[in-house]
Structure 1
Amino acid sequence: MQRFLICLVLAMQAFPVLAQDYLPRDVQRFMDRRESCDQVRRIKDADSRILKPCMGTDKELAQLKRKYAANSTIMQILNQFEASIEVAEAPVRRK
């Protein structure tokens, strides 16, 4: 079983699309949402309206890590995401 999981992790890194077929749906949805948001964040001067759907992914990542803490395969995937990107990107409020 351990060999299967190791092969699965290696295959997921080589073929990310295949990886999603073997992951729980909530992890799949998070990965899709977060990866889309990460692409948007790379665009300099992105409009805050574009980033609005991305808010909450830090919290969601923490929740998924707690939920799947005993699953090393899923944790390896989740650990690839930065834990707190929203705080650094929060808009500065002007008085």
Structure 2
Amino acid sequence: MKKLVTGVPVIFCFLAASVAAEGICATEQCEKAQNIPNLPTDVKSFVDQRDGCDHFREEPWDGGDDPEVKERREFIFKNINDLCTGTDKRLAELRRKYRYDPMIIELLIGYEDRIEHQ
């Protein structure tokens, strides 16, 4: 059992990479973005990053001291740190840049303004 639980993060990373490569979304905002024709690269990049960030922010984790639980929690926290850092600033910049594009603004309004270190 220990090997199976320990291998979960590796399997999950592989599956997450496969899902991202296939264009499958973890959030409603990502799905909305897929329906916008000619989505600018910088917006697409933000959506992809924030999709992963929001996914891990919603992941349940246990506060226990069991080694497998600690490993899973560290995995979630690392992904949150890697994927969420800088997205508040990027979101604000994209909202300014595309303020005259109603489709993009409608997409970006769906994101929380501040998720980092509140």
Q: State the TM bucket, normalised to the shorter chain.
A: 0.5 to 0.7
In the alignment, the residues of structure 2 paired with residue 17 and residue 65 of structure 1 have an alpha-carbon distance, to the nearest angstrom, of 15
Q: TM-score, normalised by structure 2?
A: 0.56
- Count of aligned pairs: 75
Rg larger for:
2
In the alignment, the residues of structure 1 paired with residue 113 and residue 107 of structure 2 have an alpha-carbon distance, to the nearest angstrom, of 13
Unaligned runs of 5+ in 1: 1-12, 89-95
SS of 1:70's equivalent in the other structure is: coil
Bigger relative contact order (CA 8 A; separation at least 6): 2
Percent of aligned positions with the same letter in both sequences?
A: 36
Output the amino acid matched with 1:74. Answer: I
From 54, 59, 66, give the equivalent of 1:43. 59
Once the two structures are TM-superposed, the CA of residue 43 in structure 1 deviates from its matched residue by: 1.3
Q: TM-score, normalised by structure 1?
A: 0.68
Match of 1:85 in 2: 115
SS of 2:117's equivalent in the other structure is: helix
CA RMSD of the aligned region, Å?
A: 2.1
Unaligned runs of 5+ in 2: 1-28, 62-72
